[in-house]
A = this chain, B = another copy of it.
Amino acid sequence: MATQSSFITSLVTSLIVFLVLWLVYAILSRRPGNAVIYYPLRVLRGEDGPTVAKRRGGAFAWVREAFKAKEDDIVATAGLDAAVYMHLFTAAFQIILISAIFCLPILLSLAGTSNYNQQQRMMDGNFTYTNIDNLGMGNIEPQSSKIWAFMLGMFWVSLATYYVLWKSYRRVVYMRDRANANAAARPQQYTVLVRDIPKPVGKESRTDQIVNFFARVHPGVFSRVQPVHDIKPAGKIFSDREDALRKLEHAEGVWEISKQKGDGAGQRPMHKTGFMGLLGPKVDSIDYWRAKSQEMNPQLEAEQRHTLQEMQQAAAFVIFSDRRSAAEASQVVHAPHALRWRVSQAPEPEEVVWKNLHIPAWQRAIRRGVVAVLTFLLIVFYMIPISFVASLTTLENLEELLPFIRSITRISVLGNIIQAYLPQLALILFLALLPHILILLSRLEGFPAQSQIVRSASAKYFYFVIFNVFLGVTIFGAVFSNLSSFQVLLDQSNLSVSRVVQLLGSKLPPVASYFITYVALRFFVGYGLELSRIIPFIIFHLKRKFKCKTDREVREAWAPGAFKYHKSVASDMLILTITLCYAVIAPLILIFAAAYFGLGWLVMRNQALNVHVPDFESHGSFWPHIHNRVLAALFVAQITAIGYFGIKEFPFSPFLIVLPILTVVFYMFCKKNYYPSIKVVSLYVAADVPKAQPSAESIAHTYTPVPLQEGHPGIVDRRSNLATKIDSTVNAVV
């Protein structure tokens, strides 16, 4: 029973790691100097870091605070996107809880009192099973009438999912509409993005062309045009100047610090101007960078003038005199050939991807096709290096490769730990590389807004984990053994739908305990790291010690960054997919899944309230993405069940076909009823009159990219413009 003991070892070590990390958090977060690591959001919002850190008492304070916080607090502090992300945890937790009410008491006891595994062992000496396997549906005799209860369980889980998703979608639509209606007016509510503007006829300038068009089709409510320019050359000069200004600031900081030592006169920093600062004449850094940055000022001004006059692109922001008209215009076909003058809601100014705006529709379509093919290849062939490394990392292989390891693995506890974690660690390391590639691919697709890029990357990541982790472990059985079984599968030319159903049903149950270990690892270690922020903590202190010389550099060193939705949502959805697939087949997983989403809910709320700063606010546009993937997970679970119930020779298993049909109907209903309210702003909501209204000039200014802004100080804080960001988010949503 080696598997069982490694299973328990894995759980226990995960728990220990988590408790250690919790302890680390409890100790470190109370030290005032660490406030910028553990409460950066509060510090940015103007609270005094040390006071916040001191006020907290006991290791459970954060739990209490996260638990007590209202949804409105989350919206006010972290924005609607974060609140919607929290809602994923709420919804998953609710689904699991309702499922558990039926599955844990009834199905576990039914499975526990059966002994089919034992029977099979008596028939076939090679058959192995663990005590955990005895608590799953595998232990039920085929054709037994007990299977009725499991079938009922499948219906129960499905209905619970529909119910929770339905309530959640309503809630998200409500929150979004409330934010859109009564909130203080925001620039994007008055603005639409126009792309694919045709070439102007004759000598008409682009601006005139756009103004004439909109004055004709939106008489009375059209207010102002803010054309989009090619900012590449101006951006280049701007960032060169920014680089010089940063180096100037750094050199001044170094001088300032040197004054505090010795006689107070300090020592002006020097550097060589040649390759890597190693060659060339030595110069005074402050003088050098000041001169450099100043000589670029007239260059930038000239380039700005040139850009504004000559480099208009086939896109523009059009500003309306009221929110209703902008909302209406963004939903309407403007030109007889609909691929021209394409109008859509303007993204929030901060999340505009300036480089993508001018890409014409046909090119966006081609880019999307190419990226889809690349993503497909990436997903399918990423398995090859993973499985290669994974095959090295099974203990036996490692012992062959590196014989000295044997001395370690002889100690049984250590051997078990390594056996339990090695494959998972290999997987997790490889997965860490991926999100950056996916974000890059999504950016190439030509989306106008950062939030769309993140959503698209998240979708790709979801496909990746489903294919490579979920299907990889189950159907292909290849990731952690070898590629041969995958090849066998591909060689079977008659790969059909019924075959996939059968495969899912037969291959999923045996790996239940593997997935339970996976979930446990993810929540204990993952949330432990997230909560304790060990890595940012170390990086910050290293940077502050050796690199940071100015206030700006320190600020950027502790800047907490935003939630990485494109990574986290897909991972969470993988856990939920696994949970839904096993909820009935191996109900024990519900306990671990509840822990994952329960703990996740607490930790993420803490991070939303205290740590992460949103990069952008898309007003919960993420929810349909999450909703659809939960439904897809449920669909896979239902298909798996059909396969597995068939293997159990249960004569009534065809009844289960109702479930995938129900899922499709529910999907269509939500898409028709709720999705439009996320995609666009309904007229009823947009017709609400705000208290105050921004001027068209101020809106046009927010839609000017930084390199074209006159009188900009010249340095943009890295990892987003934190201070202004917080203010605008808070004002907008409260």
Q: Is A337 within 8 A of B683, CB to CB?
A: no
Docked CA distance A669–B672 (Å):
24
Interface digits, A1-37 against B, CB 8 Å rule (1 contact, 0 not)?
Answer: 0000000000000000000000000000000000000
Docked CA distance A341–B682 (Å):
11
Q: Is A687 within 8 A of B217, CB to CB?
A: yes
Q: Is A217 within 8 A of B496, CB to CB?
A: no
- State which of B361, B682, B685 has its C-beta within 8 Å of the C-beta of A672: B361
Interface digits, A332-362 against B, CB 8 Å rule (1 contact, 0 not)?
Answer: 1111111101000000000000000000011
Say if the beta carbon of A684 comes within 8 Å of chain B.
Answer: yes
Which residue of chain B has its CB nearest to the CB of A220?
B220
Say if the beta carbon of A216 comes within 8 Å of chain B.
Answer: yes
- State which of B217, B365, B684 has its C-beta within 8 Å of the C-beta of A335: B684
Q: Is B673 within 8 A of A334, CB to CB?
A: no
Question: Contacts A331-B332, A338-B674, A677-B338; is A324 near B682 (CB within 8 Å)?
Answer: no
Say if the beta carbon of A676 comes within 8 Å of chain B.
Answer: yes
Interface residues of A in 565-585 (CB under 8 A from B): none
Q: Is A677 within 8 A of B336, CB to CB?
A: yes
Question: Contacts A334-B684, A682-B338; is A324 near B673 (CB within 8 Å)?
Answer: no
- State which of B336, B365, B676, B677 has its C-beta within 8 Å of the C-beta of A685: B336
- State which of B216, B324, B338 has its C-beta within 8 Å of the C-beta of A676: B338
Question: Contacts A337-B677, A338-B673; is A684 near B216 (CB within 8 Å)?
Answer: yes
Question: Contacts A361-B672, A496-B496; is A684 near B336 (CB within 8 Å)?
Answer: yes
Q: Is A682 within 8 A of B361, CB to CB?
A: no
A197 partner residues in chain B, CB cutoff 8 A: none
Docked CA distance A332–B217 (Å):
15
Docked CA distance A320–B687 (Å):
17
Which residue of chain B has its CB nearest to the CB of A337?
B673
Docked CA distance A174–B682 (Å):
31
A683 partner residues in chain B, CB cutoff 8 A: 217-218, 332-335
Interface residues of A in 484-500 (CB under 8 A from B): 494, 496
Say if the beta carbon of A177 comes within 8 Å of chain B.
Answer: yes
Q: Indicate the member of A218, A682, A685 with the most B CB atoms within 10 Å.
A: A682
Interface residues of A in 355-399 (CB under 8 A from B): 361-362, 365
Q: Is B496 within 8 A of A334, CB to CB?
A: no
A336 partner residues in chain B, CB cutoff 8 A: 173-174, 177, 677, 682, 684-685
Would you give the shortest CB distance from A649 to chain B, in whole angstroms? 19
- State which of B331, B682, B684, B685 has its C-beta within 8 Å of the C-beta of A331: B331
Interface size on A, residues (CB 8 A): 41
A539 partner residues in chain B, CB cutoff 8 A: none
Say if the beta carbon of A599 comes within 8 Å of chain B.
Answer: no
A296 partner residues in chain B, CB cutoff 8 A: none
Say if the beta carbon of A465 comes within 8 Å of chain B.
Answer: no
A230 partner residues in chain B, CB cutoff 8 A: none
A174 partner residues in chain B, CB cutoff 8 A: 336
Docked CA distance A500–B219 (Å):
56
Docked CA distance A672–B196 (Å):
13
Interface residues of A in 468-498 (CB under 8 A from B): 494, 496
Docked CA distance A339–B177 (Å):
16
- State which of B328, B333, B677 has its C-beta within 8 Å of the C-beta of A682: B333
A362 partner residues in chain B, CB cutoff 8 A: 669
Docked CA distance A300–B676 (Å):
44
Say if the beta carbon of A680 comes within 8 Å of chain B.
Answer: yes
A218 partner residues in chain B, CB cutoff 8 A: 683
Say if the beta carbon of A662 comes within 8 Å of chain B.
Answer: no
Docked CA distance A593–B361 (Å):
38
Q: Is A332 within 8 A of B328, CB to CB?
A: yes
Docked CA distance A684–B217 (Å):
6
Interface digits, A169-213 against B, CB 8 Å rule (1 contact, 0 not)?
Answer: 000011001000000000000000000000000000000000001
Say if the beta carbon of A311 comes within 8 Å of chain B.
Answer: no
Docked CA distance A213–B338 (Å):
30
Interface digits, A642-672 against B, CB 8 Å rule (1 contact, 0 not)?
Answer: 0000000000000000000000000011001
A669 partner residues in chain B, CB cutoff 8 A: 362, 365
Would you give the shortest CB distance from A387 to chain B, in whole angstroms? 28
A677 partner residues in chain B, CB cutoff 8 A: 333, 336-338
Docked CA distance A257–B685 (Å):
68
Q: Is A333 within 8 A of B674, CB to CB?
A: no
A687 partner residues in chain B, CB cutoff 8 A: 216-217, 219
Docked CA distance A93–B332 (Å):
36
A338 partner residues in chain B, CB cutoff 8 A: 672-677, 682
Residue pairs across A and B with Cβ atoms less than 8 A apart, 26 shown, are A173-B336, A174-B336, A213-B684, A216-B684, A217-B324, A217-B684, A218-B683, A331-B331, A332-B332, A332-B683, A333-B676, A333-B677, A333-B683, A334-B682, A334-B683, A334-B684, A336-B677, A336-B682, A338-B674, A338-B676, A361-B672, A365-B668, A365-B669, A365-B672, A494-B494, A494-B496
6 other contacts beyond A177-B336, A335-B684, A336-B685, with CB at 8 A cut-off?
A: A213-B684, A332-B680, A333-B680, A336-B682, A338-B672, A338-B674
